[in-house]
Amino acid sequence: MGSTAYWVNRTKRHGLLAMSAIIITAGAYLATPPPDFRHRFSMATAYASLAFFVASLWLGPWNVLRRRPNPVSFDLRRDIGIWAAMLALVHTAVGLTVHLRGRMWMYFFKRLHPLAIQNTKFGFANFVGLAAAILFLLLLAISNDLSLRRLGVGRWKAIQQWAYVTFGLTIAHGVAYQMIEKRKVPWVVVFACLSVAAVVIQTIGWKRMGRKTD
């Protein structure tokens, strides 16, 4: 009975998260100027993913600030992180078709013969974005109880800590594209507010944890 109730609650939570993802993505899509569907959908999933990612980064420090238990892994943070990763991977898949239709390799290379790296701001944005996507895939792969049991708490937590590197790469990717596409002020403000919110709450949480260990 307990196991059944657990999965019913988990399913309900994922239903709510799916609905939230659809609403945020739809809102961002409608706010992006038409007519290019792929560009609008890429933008929408990028901002939705960032919103979910920031929410997942808030939960641990928020528990610390409220003096609540903050376990290594808990379902709400994990489930929000799962949706952040899935949206990020959708963004990556769609984003790689936006600027260079049919020439995906040009996101990373200026030419293939002889091989020349895309050592421009555009190339930088794409390389760090690809690195973030790979890490999102890794984090998604371990977002389950089976991985936690097989890896053990120490190894699982060490891999999960790469979420902070993923966040840094995501922000670098986002900043670069803000400049490349000369995004309008509202988009920049939303991006900046989400980014700063994550950094602030994480910093406060670390300081509070540091005081506890002193």
The single residue listed with the structure tokens 């800590």 is 161
Residue-range domain boundaries for the chain: 2-213
Q: Which residue has the higher pLDDT, 112 or 28?
A: 28
Q: What is the pLDDT confidence band of residue 2, given thresholds at 50, 70 and 90?
A: low
Residue 112 scores a pLDDT above 50: yes
Residue 87 scores a pLDDT above 80: yes
Burial of 101 (0-12, 13-18, 19+ CB in 10 A): exposed
Share of the chain above pLDDT 90, in %: 68
pLDDT (tens digit, 9 = 90+) per residue, 173-182?
999 999 999 9
Residue 153 scores a pLDDT above 70: yes
Q: Distance between CA atoms of 92 and 77, rounded to whole angstroms?
A: 22
> Which pLDDT belongs to residue 140?
97
For residues 17 and 80, is the Cβ–Cβ distance under 8 A? yes
Q: How far is CA 137 from the centre of its chain?
A: 10
Q: What is the model's pTM? A: 0.91
Q: Distance between CA atoms of 84 and 159, rounded to whole angstroms?
A: 17
> Which pLDDT belongs to residue 214?
45
3-state secondary structure of 109: strand
Q: What is the pLDDT confidence band of residue 210, given thresholds at 50, 70 and 90?
A: low
